[in-house]
Structure 1
Amino acid sequence: MDLLNGPWRRELARLPWGIVLLVVALAGFGLVVLYSAAGGSLNPWALKQGIRFAVLLGAAVVLAMVPPERWLAWAWPIYFTLLAALLGVELVGAVRGGSQRWLDIGIMQFQPSELMKLGIILALARYYHYVPKGYETRPDVLLPALVLIAMPAGLVMLQPDLGTALAIVFGGVVVLFLAGVRLWLFGAAAAAMAAMLPVAWSLLHEYQRNRVLIFLDPESDPRGAGYHITQSKIAIGSGGLTGKGFLNGTQSHLDYLPELHTDFAFATMAEEWGLLGGMYVIILYGCVLAWGIRTAMNANSQFQRLMCVGLVATLFFYLAINMMMVMGLAPVVGIPLPLISWGGSAMLTVMILLGLVMGIARANRARLD
């Protein structure tokens, strides 16, 4: 009992509880948004989301107690298990909404692509942890790293899930850049991608091409493919500075705003809480991101630094793409707003992400004590 009370109590005290409170504040606000989206009811979204968050917050705290060195040892098994799961999706995956993204494991339907956003960070951080300084850009070092990114991204594109594939690539590229890969290679890769745009365009599904075209000109089909983004911008704009008031959103409550509880939850929130509500979310998440970067700067090893910054970059990708999407600054790609939007897979990914970063923060503080 003394062993449990002593070391565990000391390690729990080293956790960044201020960040935990910020996360609770964000998730709590998300529950308020989902309560309003359901017309002032805990069902079908707010109650289930609240229970899910409570369970996953406890899981994040448990993950934070795992020594970061363990993830170095587990990085390859996690990556290849998720890669095998992605192959399983292609072979026997469940189809929902026209996409084949889920594995039915009996008690739940599991979406491996969500966790691969974290798996690619762990794998690349471990890979570059053992690369000698100055060797990062050598072809025999760089090519395997690119293959590690390309395999899961390609499998996710087959599902098809462009948004998740982009998130995997983004996280991987961030780790490559921070590991020391030369900047000119990223410029060369960007030029090559630009030259391949006609080929990439032909490979996109029809609905994906429509999303890009509507992003460029939403007014071309305001009642069809452009309906989502048009109604989202109306909802956000009508909220003004302080919003229309809790439970008083018209675009959402009159069913003009589609996907008001998932991809467009930020628009639902902005209509009722206005610019002030949006700034509340942005500032709180800004504090979380700044803490994550500071944690990475104080990390004890190359693996921990790369893992931490890669995870923070993945969280930033979620936030930036969703907010840009609902404001018409990016194509609609189905990226939810973490802790605000309804959804179990995305919340699971984000809470694991936060648990891993909290674990590094705990280890940093333990070194100073």
Structure 2
Amino acid sequence: MAVFRETVPRDLPGKMMEINWSLVLLLGLLGVAGVAMLYSLAGAEWNPWAVRHALRLGVGFTGMLIVAMFPPRFWIGAAYPIYFGALLLLVLVEFAGVTINGAQRWIDLGPLRLQPSEVMKVALVLALARFYHDLPSDKVTSLSGLIPPMMIIGAPAALIIGQPDLGTTLLLMATGLAVIFMAGLSWWFILIVGGLGLMGVIGVAVVGLENILAEYQMDRVRAFTNPDFDPLGINYHPNQAVITLGSGGMTGKGYLEGTQSKLGFLPEMQTDYIFTALGEEFGFVGGVSVLAINALIMAQGVAIAVSCKSPFLRLLTMGLITTYALYVFINIGMVSRLMPVVGVPLPLISYGGTVVLSILVAFGLILGAHIHRNAEPPRGVGLFG
């Protein structure tokens, strides 16, 4: 019988001492920046965004520390129930979801609109990490090691693309494939998949994107490739974002002194385009500072993953950090016109409910991996350990 070895403190004070407080501080800096920017964008008013964002951050950081206290054995046991629970919520969106701006992605819970696709981003990584934790290493590249994880990825992706939410679907698939790769996928398989992907690109070029994508998705591609296409319609947001970002110069116009946002030229300024508002007020220096904090957070996450003895904790941490990195790269790439618009927020800075809480739960799992980095839980752990 496998023996559960865990050379970490089992008491609460001992675990609190083991928390990576430098990572908590970096996350806190982003949260403070988000509250400050939302306060500025509302015209130096706490309502309607800053106070709610601050409250959600308070709840989220508390939850993050609570999540970090649970041993990996618990999360291994809970991984599949959490995944299927998130999948059930995605199905529920199809029947009882709230529609906003033409997209049906939320479940109304009164004080909070729950977005199940954000919950699934954490649940997916948990399920894949559990699967590969139980799978013998020589089975990773076999059909039994590839078909189940592809089904784990494909089921929520099929539901989310129908909401429609192409950005989240692509992010979910990219994260899932990254976890499969990090689980030890052989290079021959990667080359085969890469070859098939290249054939797919050639096929798209022959058939034409307009015969594959929906019209609104095709318009986003046209807007990305041609800034002059529909400047008062589909291209209005991206063009105004670039203008706002560039107007900050090197050091910005000063805190509370942004004009593009306050005069109504920057749509969705509190969510997807908040980085451009930050660039307007704090300039290139402020933007680079946010990028530097995010780079340090990612580096901390990778370092934690490398230090973990358990395959489950390594894959869990790397998968969650990959998700976080994709959030950052896609959002900043989108607002700076390096990528098409896909509607991905900037973590902890953009205003939001479910996304803030799900990101902080993810970092609770990462902090827990750091605390329990020497744990080596056995395979085949039952429900909730």
The residue type paired with residue 36 of structure 2 is V
Superposition CA RMSD, Å: 1.7
**3-state SS, counterpart of residue 260 of structure 2:** helix
Moved more, 78-87 or 128-137: 128-137
Counterpart position of 1:31: 35
Mapped partners of 2:110, 2:243: distance in 1: 42
- How far is 1:135 from its partner? 2.2
* Preserved CA contact (<8 Å) 1:14 1:365: no
Mapped partners of 1:19, 1:122: distance in 2: 21
Mapped partners of 2:193, 2:184: distance in 1: 12
Unaligned runs of 5+ in 2: 1-9, 377-385
Counterpart position of 2:5: none
- How far is 1:189 from its partner? 4.1
Do residues 243 (structure 1) and 252 (structure 2) align?
yes
* Preserved CA contact (<8 Å) 2:309 2:375: no
- How far is 1:366 from its partner? 8.3
Mapped partners of 1:344, 1:129: distance in 2: 31
**3-state SS, counterpart of residue 246 of structure 1:** coil
Q: Summarize the Cα distance change of 1:293–1:201 in structure 2 as closer, same or farther, 3 Å threshold.
A: farther
Counterpart position of 2:70: 66
Counterpart position of 2:194: 187
The residue type paired with residue 262 of structure 1 is T
**3-state SS, counterpart of residue 95 of structure 1:** strand
**3-state SS, counterpart of residue 219 of structure 1:** coil
Ranges of 4+ aligned residues in structure 1 off by more than 6 Å: none
Counterpart position of 1:217: 226
What is the aligned counterpart of 1:318 among 327, 332, 337? Answer: 327
Map 1:1-369 to 2 at 5 A: 7-105=11-109, 108-182=112-186, 183-195=190-202, 197=204, 198=207, 201-364=210-373
**3-state SS, counterpart of residue 241 of structure 1:** coil
Moved more, 253-262 or 133-142: 133-142
The residue type paired with residue 144 of structure 1 is P
Mapped partners of 1:108, 1:150: distance in 2: 28
Higher percent of residues as helix: 1
Q: Summarize the Cα distance change of 1:120–1:201 in structure 2 as closer, same or farther, 3 Å threshold.
A: farther
* Preserved CA contact (<8 Å) 1:16 1:361: yes
Moved more, 202-211 or 349-358: 202-211
Mapped partners of 1:125, 1:189: distance in 2: 26
Output one character per residue of 1:164-190: Cα deviation in whole Å (capped at 9) or x when no partner: 111110110110110112321441342
Output one character per residue of 1:34-91: Cα deviation in whole Å (capped at 9) or x when no partner: 1111111111111110111011100000001011221111111111111111111112
* Preserved CA contact (<8 Å) 1:90 1:100: yes
Mapped partners of 1:305, 1:147: distance in 2: 22
* Preserved CA contact (<8 Å) 1:171 1:314: yes
**3-state SS, counterpart of residue 137 of structure 2:** coil
Moved more, 263-272 or 219-228: 219-228
* Preserved CA contact (<8 Å) 1:14 1:366: no
How many residues get paired? 362
Output one character per residue of 1:123-174: Cα deviation in whole Å (capped at 9) or x when no partner: 1111111222232122232122111111100110000011111111011011
The residue type paired with residue 191 of structure 2 is W
**3-state SS, counterpart of residue 100 of structure 1:** strand
Unaligned runs of 5+ in 1: 1-5
Mapped partners of 1:111, 1:177: distance in 2: 28
The residue type paired with residue 327 of structure 2 is Y
Among the aligned pairs, what percent are the same residue? Answer: 40
Q: TM-score normalised to the size of structure 1? A: 0.94
Q: Summarize the Cα distance change of 1:189–1:130 in structure 2 as closer, same or farther, 3 Å threshold.
A: farther
- How far is 1:7 from its partner? 1.8
Mapped partners of 1:343, 1:97: distance in 2: 16
* Preserved CA contact (<8 Å) 2:269 2:277: yes
Output one character per residue of 1:70-127: Cα deviation in whole Å (capped at 9) or x when no partner: 1111111111111111111112222222111122345533211111111111111111
Q: Summarize the Cα distance change of 1:365–1:148 in structure 2 as closer, same or farther, 3 Å threshold.
A: closer
Mapped partners of 2:281, 2:110: distance in 1: 39
**3-state SS, counterpart of residue 253 of structure 1:** coil
Mapped partners of 1:92, 1:202: distance in 2: 31
**3-state SS, counterpart of residue 103 of structure 1:** strand
